[in-house]
């Protein structure tokens, strides 16, 4: 139907629609909604630091951060330190250098503030729906089936009762083929099933759709309802309470491991201390998830996982070439493949123990694989993982 016929047809039913006008009205409405969201998410900063990677880090008074907009955290008594510090002065911790994020080149935030990555207009506009900004769009931890675009190489711990985990991971800057894909290395602590799934997650990711670049970044995540309405990445919604003025969740890492070269390993610890799940990176207490955010994790986790995950969009009908970890298979070993080492779990007596009943889950070992390392070494329980994706055996 031509434009004249289209207009006449609309006039017959008494309506004339101007696509341009309606488009502008929609655009204006969206613009207003985005500005409202930005005003709600970005709290007043004492000072702001422009990072060389394009981020703006806002130094927000610790009591003013977004976390306390959560209805369950009204009148919350901020915890500055846990009652139990996990080996913060041990020789094990001393083996790790201070984590350097890109924004540190311009300084750090003052005491009694927290370093928050400012959310920009373009960050929100990259989201499919404004109301879903900062959230995962697919429910579940391990997503299988022919329709799933998620692929994994992870180690699972047998079901039990867990109150934390501790490990070292060498960090890389994996190549991500297209913006809607990602690559990450993380740990999951979870409890509950179905819509009652609760998770606490932390690790390192390249996620262009969230950050607008291909930098490696520290991230945290949480959900209390299987990724439906609760939780989000980092400090993009109320929930996770940041306490650090030095480490920014969502911040870029300046140094990463090099193939057959220097290995940058980061020590990650998550543990339950009373009513709070704490996160520590090397020696720095980053923040915590209050147990009251959850329906079941407040009583401890029943599962713990560690490893890598990617998204495969099958661009052009082929498997993605997105790297997992270093982009090299586990068989290549130290200095070439990605690893998790000195893996421990925290039991009900608050004791660190090597995990028992550990088993691997791999989506397609021709694309990405996993290999348990030798025990009885200074590396404790460890494994290598990763891969290049697209190759002769992974078309």
The CA distance from 68 to 237, in Å, is: 10
Q: Is the distance from CB of 154 to CB of 142 less than 8 angstroms?
A: yes
How far is the C-alpha of 118 from the C-alpha of 90, rounded, in Å? 35
Task: Please identify which of the residues 309, 313, 332, 372 carries the catalytic annotation.
Answer: 309
Beta bridge partners of 360: 155
Contact yes or no for 220/205 (Cβ under 8 A)? no
Q: Please, what sign has the CA dihedral across residues 132, 138, 140, 141? A: negative
Asked whether 153 and 363 are in contact (CB, 8 A), the reply is yes
Judge whether 309 counts as a catalytic residue: yes
| DSSP code of residue 317 | G
Residue 53 burial class via C-beta count within 10 angstroms: exposed 0-12, middle 13-18, buried 19 and up: middle
Residue with tokens 């913006």: 179
3-state DSSP assignment of residue 33:
helix
Torsion of CA 325, 327, 331, 337, to 10 degrees: -50
Give the dihedral sign, CA 101/177/205/47.
positive
Structure tokens at 305: 């996982």
CB of 191 within 8 A of CB of 303? yes
Q: Among the options 25, 35, 87, 201, which is catalytic?
A: 201
**201 a catalytic residue:** yes
Q: Please tell me whether residue 184 adopts helix, strand or coil conformation.
A: strand
CA dist., res. 282 & res. 285, Å (int): 8
**The tokens 């579940």 sit on which residue?**
140
Q: What is the DSSP letter of 391?
A: B
Tokens of 336: 């070439």
CA distance 87 to 189: 20
Q: Rounded to an integer, what distance in angstroms lies between the CA atom of residue 370 and that of residue 300? A: 27
**Short-list 249, 306, 238, CA closest to 74:** 238
**Which of the 8 DSSP states describes residue 198?**
E
Catalytic residues: 201, 309
């Amino acid at each position: 139907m031509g434009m004249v016929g289209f207009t006449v047809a609309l006039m017959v039913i008494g309506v004339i629609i101007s696509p341009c006008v309606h488009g502008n009205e929609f655009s204006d409405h969206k613009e207003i909604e985005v500005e409202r969201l930005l005003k709600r998410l970005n709290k007043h900063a004492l000072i702001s630091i422009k990072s060389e990677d394009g981020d703006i880090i806002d130094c927000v008074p610790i009591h003013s951060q977004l976390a306390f907009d959560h209805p369950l955290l009204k009148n919350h008594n901020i915890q500055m330190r846990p009652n139990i510090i996990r080996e913060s002065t041990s020789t094990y911790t001393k083996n790790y250098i201070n984590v350097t994020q890109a924004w540190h080149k311009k300084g750090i935030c003052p005491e009694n503030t927290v370093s928050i990555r400012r959310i920009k207009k373009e960050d929100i506009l990259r989201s499919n729906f404004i109301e879903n900004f900062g959230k995962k769009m697919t429910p579940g931890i391990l997503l299988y089936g022919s329709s799933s675009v998620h692929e994994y190489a992870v180690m699972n711990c047998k079901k039990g009762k867990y109150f934390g985990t501790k490990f070292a991971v060498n960090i890389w800057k994996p190549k991500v083929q297209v913006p809607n894909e990602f690559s990450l290395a993380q740990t999951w602590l979870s409890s509950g099933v179905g819509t009652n799934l609760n998770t606490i997650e932390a690790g390192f990711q390249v996620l262009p759709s969230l950050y607008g670049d291909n930098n490696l970044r520290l991230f945290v995540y949480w959900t209390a309802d299987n990724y439906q309405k609760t939780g989000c990445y980092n400090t993009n919604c109320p929930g996770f309470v940041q306490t650090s003025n030095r480490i920014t969740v969502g911040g870029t890492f300046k140094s990463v491991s090099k193939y057959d070269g220097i290995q940058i390993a980061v020590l990650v610890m998550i543990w339950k201390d009373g009513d709070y799940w704490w996160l520590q990176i090397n020696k720095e207490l980053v923040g915590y998830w209050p147990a009251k955010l959850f329906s079941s994790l407040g009583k401890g986790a029943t599962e713990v996982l560690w490893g890598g995950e990617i998204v495969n969009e099958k661009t052009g009908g082929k498997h993605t070439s997105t790297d997992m970890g270093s982009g090299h298979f586990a068989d290549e070993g130290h200095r070439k493949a990605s690893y998790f080492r000195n893996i421990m779990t925290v039991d009900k007596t608050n004791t660190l123990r090597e995990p028992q009943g550990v088993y691997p889950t791999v989506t397609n070992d021709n694309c990405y694989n996993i290999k348990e390392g030798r025990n009885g070494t200074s590396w404790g329980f460890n494994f290598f993982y990763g891969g290049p994706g697209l190759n002769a055996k992974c078309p």
